[in-house]
Amino acid sequence: MTNLYEQLVRPLLFFLEPEAAHHFTIASLRRASRFGPALRVLKQFAPPSKPKTLFGLNFPNPIGLAAGLDKNGVALPAWAALGFGFIEIGTVTAMEQPGNPKPRIFRLPAQQAVINRLGFNNEGADAIAKRLSSLRASGRWPAVPVGVNIGKSRTTPLERAADDYLYSFRLLRDFADYITLNVSSPNTPGLRGLQEPAALSRLLHAIGSEPGTMAKPVVVKISPDLTPVELEAVLAVCEENEVAGIIATNTTLDHSSIPPELDEEGGLSGTPLREKSTALVRSIAANAKIPVIASGGICDAKSAREKFDAGAQLLQLYTGFVYRGPRLLREIMQAI
């Protein structure tokens, strides 16, 4: 039973082109989300709870779903039934957008990695706010914290980035237990420039000046490719603006561990990202008081423990979950 995903489901999914497999999975979980008996089946895979409180929120366990798997927030009940201790949807942008041309997701099974250059394909803040509103009204809202990850629309110039984030923030904050400002995806030109101190300050100030923001934890998701000096500057700006947490990290543009014949343009995730990402977690925990949510290369119990040992408070899974399935959650929970 525990090997069902790796032995049966994954071979079938990996038979499909990566984005087709992704759509099939999301469509299945979306259907399951509306069907009580299906949710009860998924719950059989859920690990026992291990509660944790952070920035005023109660997490049934510290293992969350990373942004990008459910960009449009269509399967919240199913993720909770599978046992995730929190769910981050998005990245959501102010405007609906198609993302980059396909193909744009590439599996590297031997490396336990993925390269993607999706470019924030999503239905846009208005449509997603509407969906979250009907889920709330339906009574099927999950009993775990939900984060909404927001980013900049591709066509909005960088100088107007704060307005773009604000648009999504205003529409989505009431549905979110916390909001993530994504300033680190490598597939939207110029986005990572928002990590520069002046730009980040402007963005955090704009969000922080919104009425009601104080009650909503705002976290910043950073790139693993920041130099130590850049990281120090990001942390100083985040502390100054009372950011509730840092997600370390997004995908990397460092493809040095990937054989050239397998390489593709885009952000690299999974095992090759692990060490670099953990180094940032360690550095933040040692130099700042801001809690860290670790994301990057968590593919087994050992890599999960490594993140906690480095000082992480919570973890998020993406690529490891694609390769290992729901069993990964159990395995980590048994080991921590």
Ligand X SMILES: Cc1cc2nc3c(=O)[nH]c(=O)nc-3n(C[C@H](O)[C@H](O)[C@H](O)COP(=O)(O)O)c2cc1C
Catalytic residues: 185
CB atoms within 10 A of CB 300: 18
> CB of residue 292 vs ligand X: minimum separation in angstroms?
13
| Window 155 to 214, contacts with ligand X (CB under 6 A) | 182, 185
Cα–Cα dist 281/279, whole Å: 5
Angle among Cα 285, 286, 288 to the nearest 5 degrees reads: 65
| Window 306 to 325, contacts with ligand X (CB under 6 A) | 317-320
Q: Which of 295, 310, 329, 330 binds ligand X (CB under 6 A)?
A: 295
H-helix or E-strand spanning residue 22? helix 18-33
The interface region with ligand X, picked from 38-46, 229-237, 253-261, 289-297 by CB under 6 A, is 289-297
**Crossing angle between the packed helical segments 18-33 and 36-43, to the nearest 10 degrees:** 110
DSSP string, 153-216: -TTS-GGGHHHHHHHHHHHHGGG-SEEEEE---TTSTTGGGGGSHHHHHHHHHHHHTSTTGGGS
| Phi and psi at residue 155, to the nearest 5° | -80, -10
**273 is a site residue for ligand X (CB under 6 A):** yes
272 Cβ contact list (under 8 Å, min separation 6): 111, 113, 252, 257, 258, 297
For residues 39 and 320, which CB has a smaller minimum distance to ligand X in the complex? 320
**124 is a site residue for ligand X (CB under 6 A):** no
C-alpha 110 chain-centroid distance: 23
Q: Which of 119, 245, 296, 326 binds ligand X (CB under 6 A)?
A: 296
The interface region with ligand X, picked from 61-69, 166-174, 195-203, 280-288 by CB under 6 A, is 61-69
**118 is a site residue for ligand X (CB under 6 A):** yes
Q: How many residues does the chain have?
A: 336
> CB of residue 178 vs ligand X: minimum separation in angstroms?
13
**245 is a site residue for ligand X (CB under 6 A):** no
The interface region with ligand X, picked from 7-15, 94-102, 266-274, 280-288 by CB under 6 A, is 266-274
**3-class DSSP state of 264:** coil
Q: DSSP code of 32?
A: H
The interface region with ligand X, picked from 40-48, 167-175, 192-200, 265-273 by CB under 6 A, is 265-273
Torsion of CA 280, 282, 283, 288, to 10 degrees: 110
Q: Which of 29, 67, 243, 284 binds ligand X (CB under 6 A)?
A: 67
**150 is a site residue for ligand X (CB under 6 A):** no
Cα–Cα dist 48/146, whole Å: 19
Q: Which of 10, 221, 255, 282 binds ligand X (CB under 6 A)?
A: 221
For residues 33 and 149, which CB has a smaller minimum distance to ligand X in the complex? 149
Could you list the residues that contact ligand X (CB under 6 A)?
66-68, 71, 90-91, 105, 114, 116, 118, 120, 149, 182, 185, 221, 250-251, 269-270, 273, 295-298, 317-320
